[in-house]
């Protein structure tokens, strides 16, 4: 019997320990991979959804432009002789209703534009900053007869299609 007990103890010592340690490790790895996959899926579907929503907004409201006739005015003398300005202008407007308003008020708009442009000197409008300031002033002058009080309504942008100072 002593030999049997010794054999049983030897068998018990030779048997590998139970595999309790591998199961939590495998579950942990699966949980980690599942979380990473879920996070990636959320990120990419959110980005694609935002992008698609942004494209819908852009497609739903196409830009509307009004092209004005070319303006040619004498500029204020600035010590370097007489100069004139020839400028082509496109107005970006909120919608088609504003296009109709611009056409209705065209004599007032052209008058205010001519007065504004002829009040400038070549030196004032030759630089990039001068052109940007002139663009803002034109937008303000055009919106006056349209009685636009809210931002984003009326004329929303002024674009020079040609700009020649001589």
Domain end marker among 40, 60, 80: 60
Quick check: 112 pLDDT over 80? yes
Q: Are residues 43 and 123 in the same domain?
A: no
44 and 73 both lie in a single domain: no
* pLDDT score for 81: 82
- More reliable by pLDDT, 150 or 45: 45
**Tens-digit pLDDT profile for residues 92-101:** 998 899 999 9
Q: What is the pLDDT of residue 61?
A: 78
Question: What are the pLDDT digits (tens) for 1-31?
Answer: 556 665 566 555 555 555 567 877 888 888 8
Domain check: are 96 and 154 in the same one?
A: yes
Band of the pLDDT at 155, cuts 50, 70, 90? very high
Q: Which domain holds residue 146?
A: 64-165
**Is residue 74 exposed (0-12), middle (13-18) or buried (19+ Cβ within 10 Å)?**
exposed
* Whether residue 24 is found in the same domain as residue 85: no
Structural tokens at position 66? 């009004």
Asked whether residue 158 falls in the same domain as residue 78, the answer is yes
Average pLDDT value over all residues in the chain = 84
Count Cβ neighbours within 10 Å for each residue of 1-38 and write b for 16 or more, e otherwise: eeeeeeeeeeeeeeeeeeeeeeeeeeeeeeeeeeeeee
28 and 99 together in one domain:
no
Q: Do 22 and 68 lie in a common domain?
A: no
Beta carbons within 10 angstroms of residue 152's beta carbon: 7
| Number of domains, the chain | 2
Give DSSP secondary structure letters for the chain. -HHHHHHHHHHHHHSPPP-TTHHHHHHHHHHHHHHHHHHHHHHHHHHHHHHHHHHHHHHHS--EEEEPPPEEEEPBP-SS---EEEEEEEEEESSHHHHHHHHHTHHHHHHHHHHHHHT-BHHHHSSHHHHHHHHHHHHHHHHHHHT--STTSSEEEEEEEEEEE-
Last residue of a domain, one of 41, 60, 79: 60
| 9 and 70, same domain (yes or no) | no
* Residue 53 sits in the same domain as residue 99: no
Q: Are residues 6 and 77 in the same domain?
A: no
- The residues pairing with 91 across neighbouring beta strands, listed in sequence order, are 66, 158
pLDDT at 52: 62
Q: Tell whether 80 and 19 lie within a shared domain.
A: no
Whether residues 51 and 101 fall in one domain: no
Write the CATH number for 142. Answer: 3.30.479
């Amino acid at each position: 019997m002593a030999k049997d007990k010794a054999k049983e103890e030897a068998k018990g010592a030779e048997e590998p320990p139970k595999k309790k340690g591998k199961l939590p490790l495998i579950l942990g790895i699966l949980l980690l991979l599942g979380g990473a996959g879920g996070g990636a899926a959320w990120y990419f579907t959110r980005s694609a959804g935002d992008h698609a929503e942004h494209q819908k907004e852009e497609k739903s409201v196409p830009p509307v432009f009004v092209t004005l006739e070319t303006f040619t005015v004498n500029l204020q003398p600035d010590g370097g002789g007489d100069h004139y300005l020839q400028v082509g202008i496109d107005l970006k407007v909120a919608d088609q209703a504003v296009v109709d308003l611009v056409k209705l008020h065209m004599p007032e708009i052209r008058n205010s534009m001519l007065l504004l442009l002829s009040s400038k000197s070549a030196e004032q409008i030759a630089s990039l900053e001068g052109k940007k300031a002139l663009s803002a002033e034109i937008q303000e002058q055009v919106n006056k007869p349209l009685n636009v009080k809210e931002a984003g309504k009326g004329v929303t942008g002024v674009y020079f299609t040609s700009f020649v100072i001589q």
